[in-house]
C-alpha cells in the first residue's frame, strides 16, 4: 500500500499542471543502471549492472521553454556485486559472482534549465530531491542454506524501507514532430540516508569455529547509482485562443 503514495503524488502533480492550463510533456523512458554501495566494516564492492524504468510529467513553456519543473516516478534496481576468479593450475578458471539487489520505487521532484541549440534541440541540466521505497530484496535468497551468511551477509530485517537522496543530471531533448520528441539524460543518484543499518550483534556463534562466540560488527550500506535514460516525450499542448 505504501508504494501507492508515489503514484498519488505523480497524479496530483499532473493535476496541478492541468488546473493551470499549462502545456505538459509526459516522458516514458528507461535504460541501464550502474549501482554502487559502500559497506562499512567489510570488503570493497563491485558495481552492479541492472536497469530502470521511469515516467515523468514536466511543465512546458510554449513561448521560450528555457526552464521547467518535473515529477518522475521510477522503478530502479540498485545494489552491488561480488566477483572473484579462482585460478586452477592446469584447468579452467572458476568465476564466482554474487549480486545484492534492492528493488526500489522512487519519486523524484526537480527542475530543469534548458539551453536552445536550434529550434528542435535543447541541452539541459537538472536536479532535484528524491524519495524511494524498497519493494523487495534478494537477501533472504542469499542467506538461505548458507551457514556463513549471518556473519558476512546483510540481513533483510535491517533494510531501511524508506530512503532519501538527491539527483543531478544533464542531457539533451529534441523534437521529432510538433507533439512527439525524445530525451537522453545522464543521472547521478547519491543517497543521503542509509539503505541498510545494522547495529553490532553480540554473542553469535562463529560458523568457522562452532565453539567460539563472536560479535558481528556494525554494518551500514548507502547507495549511489549512475543511470542513462532514453525517453519518448509526448507533448500535451495547451494554446490560448482570444
Tens digits of per-residue pLDDT, 121-159?
A: 999 999 999 999 999 999 988 877 676 666 778 889 999
Cell numbers of 236, please?
500535451
200: in domain: yes
CATH of the domain at 136: 2.40.160.20
122: in domain: yes
| Domain range for 30 | 4-236
229: in domain: yes
242: in domain: no
Domain tally, the chain: 1
241: in domain: no
206: in domain: yes
126: in domain: yes
Q: Which parts of 87-143 are beta strand (E)?
A: 94-118, 121-137
The conformational region for residue 21 under phi > 0 = left, psi -120 to 50 = alpha, else beta, is left
At residue 88, the pLDDT reads 67
89: in domain: yes
Quote helix, strand, coil % in the chain, to nearest 5: 10, 65, 25
- Residue-wise pLDDT for 14-36, tens only, equals 554 454 447 899 999 999 999 99
Amino acid at each position: 500500500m505504501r508504494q501507492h503514495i508515489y503514484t498519488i503524488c505523480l497524479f496530483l502533480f499532473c493535476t496541478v499542471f492541468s488546473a493551470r492550463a499549462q502545456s505538459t510533456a509526459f516522458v516514458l523512458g528507461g535504460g541501464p543502471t550502474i549501482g554502487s554501495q559502500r559497506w562499512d566494516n567489510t570488503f570493497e564492492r563491485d558495481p552492479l549492472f541492472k536497469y530502470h524504468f521511469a515516467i515523468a510529467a514536466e511543465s512546458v513553456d510554449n513561448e521560450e521553454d528555457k526552464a521547467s519543473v518535473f515529477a518522475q516516478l521510477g522503478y530502479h534496481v540498485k545494489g552491488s556485486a561480488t566477483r572473484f576468479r579462482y585460478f586452477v593450475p592446469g584447468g579452467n578458471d572458476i568465476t564466482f559472482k554474487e549480486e545484492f539487489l534492492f528493488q526500489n520505487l522512487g519519486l523524484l521532484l526537480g527542475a530543469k534549465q534548458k539551453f536552445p541549440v536550434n529550434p528542435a534541440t535543447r541541452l539541459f541540466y537538472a536536479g532535484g530531491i528524491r524519495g524511494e521505497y524498497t519493494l523487495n530484496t534478494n537477501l533472504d535468497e542469499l542467506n538461505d542454506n548458507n551457514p556463513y551468511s549471518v556473519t558476512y551477509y546483510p540481513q533483510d530485517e535491517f533494510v531501511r524501507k524508506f530512503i532519501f537522496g538527491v539527483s543531478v543530471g544533464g542531457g539533451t531533448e529534441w523534437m521529432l514532430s510538433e507533439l512527439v520528441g525524445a530525451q537522453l539524460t545522464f543521472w547521478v543518484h547519491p543517497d543521503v540516508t542509509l539503505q541498510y543499518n545494522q547495529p553490532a550483534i553480540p554473542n553469535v556463534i562463529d560458523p568457522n569455529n562452532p565453539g567460539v562466540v563472536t560479535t558481528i560488527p556494525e554494518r551500514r550500506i548507502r547507495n549511489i547509482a549512475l543511470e542513462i535514460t532514453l525517453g519518448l516525450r509526448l507533448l500535451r499542448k495547451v494554446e490560448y485562443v482570444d
